[in-house]
Amino acid sequence: MLSFCGIDVSKDRLDVMVLPEGHRSWVPNDVAGWAELVEQLRDCSIAAIGIEASGGYERGAMRALLAADLPVRQVNPFKLRQFARASGVLAKSDPLDARMIASFVATMPTRPAPRQAPAAERLTEMLAVRRQLSAEKVAAENASRLVEDAMLQRLSRRRIARLAADIDVLDQRLVEIVATDVALAHRYRLLTSMPGVGSVLACTLIALLPELGRLSRKQVAALVGVAPYAFDSGAQGSAMHLGRSSQRSPGALHGSDERQQLESGAQGVPRSSRSRR
């Protein structure tokens, strides 16, 4: 009998549930814990292992499981909450979440988590920090409009300029990271050859949509919204949304616009038209 495993991730521990056996355990979220987790799951006939995305705390466990050739699935938190509500489960506790993740991968069709190259993982980390800095910059700009004191205005301008400089440094580093990997560099050149695709959008697409390596030029054009083609990969929902929201003049997609597109498109949940500028 095949089993399904759910792993609920927190900063310090991994709560594990294996169904239908009902085996429950936990391991530390560190190198020793990841090794112990692999040994536990190797003894079971596991059809799928679900891990909920937890802001990066899941990366080490996913690397260890993928290195052991175990069938890992990364579970979208939003879809998991919808599944829990549909199942009539409203309470939240760590063991309950691990069981719900196991039920989710046992019931819902999920794709195997891709094994990313080291350069792609660094790209994902850089993009996460860039999103944080961009959000801080927008908040600082909004707050500066309400400041009347001259000294506070100077401090606000200084802080905004520092954040902008840090974002520029990260943008340069993103391109450098892509250049270190032949496959990523090829995808980057393909994406940036499309009208309206800047360096940040290209790097974000590469990091969030690993299936780009299997797409043709026409399919990539459909993804970024410059051609009416469709494709049948798992990213179709993202492509449809990006295609609708990227009908702008060439070179118009930069900075926060790119971030907003990808944050909505990566989840496959279209934003309303009022989110466009």
Confidence band for 92, pLDDT divided at 50, 70 and 90:
low
Confidence band for 216, pLDDT divided at 50, 70 and 90:
low
Contact status, residue 235 vs residue 209, Cβ threshold 8 Å: yes
Pick from 127-131, 230-234, 259-263: least confident: 230-234
Contact status, residue 204 vs residue 258, Cβ threshold 8 Å: yes
The letter for the amino acid at 230 is A
Greater pLDDT, 225 or 35: 35
Half-sphere exposure of 132 (CA within 13 A, CB side): 9
Q: Check whether 253 has a pLDDT greater than 70.
A: no
Architecture of domain 3-107: 2-Layer Sandwich (3.30)
pLDDT (mean) for 125-134: 91
Please tell me the predicted confidence (pLDDT) of residue 221: 64
Please tell me the predicted confidence (pLDDT) of residue 143: 92
Pick from 146-150, 177-181, 192-196: least confident: 192-196
Please tell me the predicted confidence (pLDDT) of residue 242: 40
CA distance 68 to 54: 21
pLDDT (mean) for 107-127: 82
Q: Is the dihedral angle over the CA atoms 245, 250, 252, 254 positive or is it negative?
A: positive
Confidence band for 211, pLDDT divided at 50, 70 and 90:
low
To which residue do tokens 């940036």 refer? 192
CA-to-CA separations, 40 to 18, 104, 197, in angstroms, rounded: 10, 21, 45
pLDDT (mean) for 227-233: 39
pLDDT (mean) for 115-130: 84
Mean pLDDT for all residues in the chain:
77
Please tell me the predicted confidence (pLDDT) of residue 95: 59
| Token pair of 239 as six digits | 């492509």
Domain boundaries, the chain: 3-107, 118-275
Predicted TM-score of the model (pTM): 0.57
